């Protein structure tokens, strides 16, 4: 057993370290971790509302004419339903911070790009974004958009292709104007 451990440590550990230091993978890890509280809260309410004992679910459905169960399901859908949105922000923010540029601006621009790429529904009731694309079905596109938008953002910022404001302008306003050109391109 010790020989196997020594072999794994000698041959697999360097590969794992190289993979673990890839900026994109670190950004994905940190971006998904940002959504972890929502995932945990949604999971707790999912377990409560769908506990695999028939008597429990029947009892819960009977409370307050089913309104309590509906509320629990709403919490589940709301927390899982915005994972893609949170991931788009978190991944872009994490990637931008690795390049030492403004993560918040990169995250907000990434959300905007993600919303543009998310399919809209145009119906008789009005126009909107289906919740399913904001949740787990939108995570893949959130990962791609987060990584690409953060890379484009840092490319412009690090090459000073930004709008520069005088030093008398507050830093928050200056950062907003600095994000205009990269945001327009993204």
Give tens-digit pLDDT for 48-57. 888 787 777 7
Q: Where are the alpha helices (DSSP H) in 81-170?
A: 83-98, 103-117, 131-134, 139-158
Q: Give me the phi and psi of 116, to 5 degrees please.
A: -65, -40
Q: Which of 13-17, 62-66, 171-175 has the lowest mean pLDDT?
A: 62-66
DSSP secondary structure code for residue 102 in this structure: -
Closest-CA residue to 27 (of 100, 107, 94, 114):
94
Confidence of residue 147 (pLDDT cuts 50, 70, 90): very high
**Where along the chain do its domains lie?**
83-185
What was the pLDDT predicted at 89? 93
pTM of the shown model: 0.80
Instruction: Indicate left, alpha or beta for 114 from its phi (over 0: left) and psi (-120 to 50: alpha).
Output: alpha
What average pLDDT does the chain have? 83
CA atoms within 13 Å, Cβ hemisphere of 60? 19
What was the pLDDT predicted at 145? 92
């Amino acid at each position: 057993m010790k020989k196997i451990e020594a072999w794994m440590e000698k041959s697999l550990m360097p590969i794992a370290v190289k993979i673990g230091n890839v900026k994109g993978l670190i950004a994905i890890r940190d971006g998904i971790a940002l959504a972890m509280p929502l995932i945990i809260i949604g999971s707790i309410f999912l377990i409560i509302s769908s506990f695999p004992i028939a008597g429990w679910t029947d009892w819960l459905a009977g409370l307050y004419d089913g309104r309590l169960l509906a509320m629990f399901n709403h919490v589940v859908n709301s927390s899982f339903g915005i994972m893609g949105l949170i991931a788009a922000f978190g991944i872009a923010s994490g990637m931008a911070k690795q390049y030492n540029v403004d993560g918040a601006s990169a995250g907000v621009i990434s959300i905007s790009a993600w919303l543009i790429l998310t399919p809209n529904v145009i119906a008789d009731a009005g126009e909107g974004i289906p919740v399913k694309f904001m949740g787990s079905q939108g995570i893949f596109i959130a990962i791609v958009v987060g990584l690409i938008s953060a890379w484009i953002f840092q490319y412009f910022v690090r090459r000073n292709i930004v709008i520069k404001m005088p030093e008398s302008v507050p830093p928050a306003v200056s950062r907003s104007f600095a994000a205009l050109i990269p945001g327009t391109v993204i």
